[in-house]
Structure 1
Amino acid sequence: MAETTILVGVGDIINRNLGVHHAAEPAELMLDAITIALQDTGLPSDVITKLKTQIDSIDVVRTWTWPYQDLPGLLAERLGSTPKHSYCSPHAGNQPAKLVDEAARRVAIGETKLAVVTGGEALASLAACAKAGVMPPPNWTPVDTPVTQVFAPSVDEMARGVGAKHKIGAPIQVYPLFENGLRALRGQSLEDNNTESAKLYAEFAQVANKTPLAWSFPRTAETEETIGRVSSRNRMICFPYPLLMNAFNTINLAGAVILTSVRYARELGIAQERWVYVLGGAGTQDSDNFWERPNFHSSPAISRTLDAGLEACGLSKADIDIYDFYSCFPIVPKLACLHLGLDILKPEKPITLLGGLTSFGGAGNNYSMHAITIMARKLRAGSGTNGLVLANGGVLTYQHVICLSSRPRADSRPYPARNPLSSTLSNDSVPETEDSAEGDAIIETYTVDFDRKNEPVLGHIVGRLKGSNHRFVANHGDAATLKRLASRTEEPIGKSGYVRVDGQQGRNLFFFESSARL
């Protein structure tokens, strides 16, 4: 007989002390979060001590902070458990929801009795130690790979193929391609689009301002004015996103959840008011290569994941009372809202529980773990019956949904036996890409890198050749083209120009002026 999977404990920990000798490593923060989650079951301390040894499944969201050789093994050793299942995920922000979904499935089929899913970062402490010249941080677990600086996704690490040739591939560059593409499709002016994003993130900042776990708490919340206005404090990063529309990752946070079956929870004596039912989940991904997406105004993976996640749980969007949409950049919650028919600025239901990765804090790959923990608390408190967490990773690449509820499935069906979606979506509408492009062209989308003085330095164009409709990636070809791309009043998308190959570097260069043909 299939078991009914429930979440019985949640825990979060934050370390705001940035002193070098108070630098707690990610493993320590995760252990604290696990301990808090075990205490959250409401069981006596002596039972919890024994329960630690009975954990038979440990999943860990891979941390950016420290390159552990075997983080699940380290946690198991410290907990005194010998899990049958232990796993450390790849890097991606979809992983918290995916790991909870997979752990819930193992509980449902009887493979796992007591599961822990955890993750955490100590990037703020690592940065403080690096700044003080104290590396490695005192008493952190020794690792084989020396760590000399704080990790952040960069062009050098994330760009590939034609992206690498044109110095584009980092999240700060790719998400803007979709924001600009969606703006043009919706017919928004650049000013209206900036206002919408600023208002959205100002609302998110207010949520974070009421969330003690947020890294920005209890500072005064950023406003529409401070978020939307480019200044020395809020410089442009990659158009159209200034700094306060980008994820902030330098935090010290960890979270954990405890999953088991209704049967075992009763055996342990966990009170029913602690139970939160895990109904199911779904996830998939678009192409890892941004230039191989069908368009730059939608995410098929987000749309398919939301639809399949709801269907797998026997729910409709009308059944959801609370959402938390991943929000490293404004484009992600916008796409989710548009697909579900929610108003972006005045949604009828909450769309963030945390306040977004700018105000709450990026938490590396682990942001959505905190959405799951807070969602569980909200459902326990009666703030809603059903909740949905959308976790996003990569460059609008990887998606996973998990649905939680204060009551079991209405249709009494068992936990979904498998992810209803394929691991990667196939899409026949993706145009062919020309590595070396030449001819009359039109801009499909674009972004511009800015320097620390708020000056544009490099334009990135994704365009189509008029003759073949093939896609290409290019950089700006001259100063006049860069100036027009960086304009805050003129819409470049849909404008014509000419693309040719730079004979020296092999890059494609795009020009608005026809003199580029020479």
Structure 2
Amino acid sequence: MPHEIPVVIGVGDYINRSLKTEDAIEPLELILRAIRNAIADTSLSPAMAEELQDRIDSIDVVASWTWPYDDLPGLVAAALGTKLQHKAYSAHGGNQPVKMFDCAARRIALGESRVAVVTGGEALASLVACAAAKKLPPPGWTKPAKRVESVFSPTTRDLGDNLGAVHSIGAPIHLYPLYENGFRASRKQSIEENNAESAQLYAEFAKVAEKNPMAWNYGRPAVTADEIGTVSKKNRMICFPYPLLMNAFNNVNIAGACLLTSETFAKELGVPKARWIYPLGGAGTQDSGNFWERPNYHSSPCISRSLDAGLQVSGLSKDQIDLFDFYSCFPIVPKLACDHLGLPMTKPLKPITLLGGLTSFGGAGNNYSMHALIEMVRELRQSEGKNGLVLANGGWVTYQHVVCLSSAPRRDGSAYPVEDVLPELITDVPVPEVEVSPEGEAVVETYTVEFGRDGKPERGHVVGRLKSNGKRFLANHADGETLAQLASGTREPIGRSGWVKGDSKVKGRNLFTVGSGQKL
């Protein structure tokens, strides 16, 4: 049974704003600088800081988008001169920083680790600059584990071999819009009202980033709601309803690190109690990895259950949380979290972001929520008796993890919860049966439209239901008129009737047309 009380004793980050190729710093070095800053953040004397570094026995590293390392946790340990009992390199997913943080706190509680580091870093801005200058690999960077021929992008990765890929859909830019459109229709919002809400939400986030020294946009005036919501050459539509400024911006150079230990060892080292912040508990789960096997597109069971369980295991109610940071790769994620908790989505009474979102703060690959944890620790140190909650999202509303932190220990004096209270995968929610080869009258359940760089609609994506049996299907637009109606931005496509049939030219692909279907 757990007997140690985990505490965060140091947090650190490091940002490299230079885009000069000669200034490119690889993720490994950014991470090491962030860890050293976290050690300095403990306020220990140089001798005790060295002792702390020597006693690091656990390193968790969030998977890097920037660079393929053979053993990044091992490289970090070697550079720090530490002997590890535990090391891990995460899977890809924006939930991973919080999940690894929760797991590290559990190991501290169980006495399996003395000092744990949770860290991650990205240098995509530098890598893009080096690629443009034809300097791959950048001089001096660690030899890559595999050949690097291009810069990683979540919008160009292989979609795999599945029902979504046949219909050219599967990237985050495609899938979050399905939820935004479905959420809008379920609330009976107009398209104009929905756009204004998203623009206002992200404008408020941008004002937060404007004041955050670690934000990529720090030092520049925050973009306004009008700029965010208006489609222009600089703010082209990506996938409806999200123009560029409602999408995550990933080309940043930033790393972060959290240092955890036990109350016992923190006292032994002499870390001032003013530096201690208490993890209270965490929880997470996931929905189906196949987006067509979700219960609907206006709610997220994994978000709702992770929030509820994270609060429950921490011994808190939602009203006892003073500070929130909701992951925000696209507006729909904080909206779903706010909707579940009954919080206003704009002009909230309590902060719902501490960083400013993945557009204005910067996406940082999988590692955004590491910086949310860091900022949460800093905020809680300034406010005695306050509690915070971080929600980290990964995939395409697929993976979630929540952790609660406080400036005070658990109120009931109980041990840090080390058992999973949620299943790894949610399987108890009814999901519509999927028809791979549909034909007949149908209705639009949700949709999005992918736009080209010229600002013109290129491809419509429809998730629909057959009227005959209610089965779900995927389809692309069948003709120009259907594409134009899906992309119009005026009349609501969700709930509209049409016709679906297999494409005679592309095996496995379905086509949807608005109306009787005679054009098929």
Residue number in structure 2 paired with 1:44: 45
Q: CA deviation at 1:515?
A: 4.1
Residue number in structure 2 paired with 1:370: 371
TM normalised by structure 2 equals: 0.98
Residue number in structure 2 paired with 1:508: 510
Q: CA deviation at 1:8?
A: 0.2
Q: CA deviation at 1:125?
A: 0.5
Residue number in structure 1 paired with 2:483: 482
Q: Counterparts of 2:312 and 2:231 in 1: how far apart (Å)?
A: 42
Q: Counterparts of 1:428 and 1:299 in 2: how far apart (Å)?
A: 11
Q: Counterparts of 2:142 and 2:201 in 1: how far apart (Å)?
A: 40
Residue number in structure 2 paired with 1:316: 317
Alignment-mate amino acid for residue 434 of structure 1: E
**Closer, same or farther in 2 for the Cα pair 1:104/1:156, shift >3 Å?**
closer
List per-residue Cα deviations over 1:20-67 (Å, max 9, x = no partner): 111000000000000000010111122222322211000000000001
> The residue matched to 1:146 in structure 2 has which SS?
coil
> The residue matched to 1:157 in structure 2 has which SS?
coil
> The residue matched to 2:7 in structure 1 has which SS?
strand
RMSD over aligned Cα atoms: 1.1
> The residue matched to 1:101 in structure 2 has which SS?
helix
1:157 aligns with 2:158: yes
List per-residue Cα deviations over 1:79-136 (Å, max 9, x = no partner): 0001100000000000010000000000001000000000010000000100111110
> The residue matched to 1:336 in structure 2 has which SS?
helix
Residue number in structure 2 paired with 1:122: 123
Q: Counterparts of 1:346 and 1:66 in 2: how far apart (Å)?
A: 39
TM normalised by structure 1 equals: 0.99
1:59 aligns with 2:56: no
> The residue matched to 1:10 in structure 2 has which SS?
strand
The range that moved more, 297-306 or 343-352, is 343-352
Residue number in structure 1 paired with 2:218: 217
Residue number in structure 2 paired with 1:334: 335
Alignment-mate amino acid for residue 345 of structure 1: T
The aligned runs of 1:138-149 (5 Å cut-off) are 138-149=139-150
Q: CA deviation at 1:228?
A: 0.2
Question: Is the 1:294–1:427 contact (alpha carbons within 8 Å) kept by the matching residues of 2?
Answer: no
Residue number in structure 1 paired with 2:79: 78
Residue number in structure 2 paired with 1:196: 197
Q: Counterparts of 2:403 and 2:518 in 1: how far apart (Å)?
A: 51
1:227 aligns with 2:233: no
Question: Is the 1:7–1:277 contact (alpha carbons within 8 Å) kept by the matching residues of 2?
Answer: yes
Q: CA deviation at 1:347?
A: 1.7
Residue number in structure 1 paired with 2:470: 469
**Closer, same or farther in 2 for the Cα pair 1:45/1:426, shift >3 Å?**
same
Question: Is the 1:286–1:425 contact (alpha carbons within 8 Å) kept by the matching residues of 2?
Answer: yes
Q: Counterparts of 2:385 and 2:299 in 1: how far apart (Å)?
A: 29
Q: Counterparts of 1:401 and 1:134 in 2: how far apart (Å)?
A: 40
**Closer, same or farther in 2 for the Cα pair 1:160/1:407, shift >3 Å?**
farther
1:101 aligns with 2:106: no
List per-residue Cα deviations over 1:295-334 (Å, max 9, x = no partner): 0000100000000000000000011000000000000000
Alignment-mate amino acid for residue 213 of structure 2: P
Q: Counterparts of 1:189 and 1:159 in 2: how far apart (Å)?
A: 35
List per-residue Cα deviations over 1:179-237 (Å, max 9, x = no partner): 00000000000000000000000000000000010001111110001000000000000
Alignment-mate amino acid for residue 67 of structure 1: P
List per-residue Cα deviations over 1:226-260 (Å, max 9, x = no partner): 00000000000000000000000000000000000
Alignment-mate amino acid for residue 343 of structure 1: P
Q: Counterparts of 1:160 and 1:220 in 2: how far apart (Å)?
A: 43
Question: Is the 1:159–1:167 contact (alpha carbons within 8 Å) kept by the matching residues of 2?
Answer: no
Question: Is the 2:52–2:269 contact (alpha carbons within 8 Å) kept by the matching residues of 1?
Answer: no
Residue number in structure 2 paired with 1:288: 289
Structure 1, unpaired ranges of 5+? none
1:407 aligns with 2:412: no
Residue number in structure 2 paired with 1:447: 448
> The residue matched to 1:202 in structure 2 has which SS?
helix
Structure 2, unpaired ranges of 5+? none
> The residue matched to 1:198 in structure 2 has which SS?
helix
Q: Counterparts of 2:225 and 2:442 in 1: how far apart (Å)?
A: 37
The range that moved more, 28-37 or 154-163, is 154-163
Q: CA deviation at 1:346?
A: 2.3
Question: Is the 2:384–2:407 contact (alpha carbons within 8 Å) kept by the matching residues of 1?
Answer: no
List per-residue Cα deviations over 1:444-486 (Å, max 9, x = no partner): 0000000011100000000000111000000000000000000
The aligned runs of 1:296-307 (5 Å cut-off) are 296-307=297-308
- Runs of 4+, deviation exceeding 4 Å: none
Q: CA deviation at 1:504?
A: 1.6
Question: Is the 1:118–1:256 contact (alpha carbons within 8 Å) kept by the matching residues of 2?
Answer: yes
1:381 aligns with 2:382: yes
Q: Counterparts of 1:404 and 1:430 in 2: how far apart (Å)?
A: 34
Q: CA deviation at 1:514?
A: 1.6
Q: Counterparts of 1:334 and 1:14 in 2: how far apart (Å)?
A: 29
Alignment-mate amino acid for residue 513 of structure 1: G
Residue number in structure 1 paired with 2:93: 92
Q: Counterparts of 2:464 and 2:157 in 1: how far apart (Å)?
A: 23
Question: Is the 2:497–2:515 contact (alpha carbons within 8 Å) kept by the matching residues of 1?
Answer: no
Residue number in structure 2 paired with 1:33: 34
The aligned runs of 1:230-309 (5 Å cut-off) are 230-309=231-310
Q: CA deviation at 1:513?
A: 2.9
Residue number in structure 1 paired with 2:346: 345
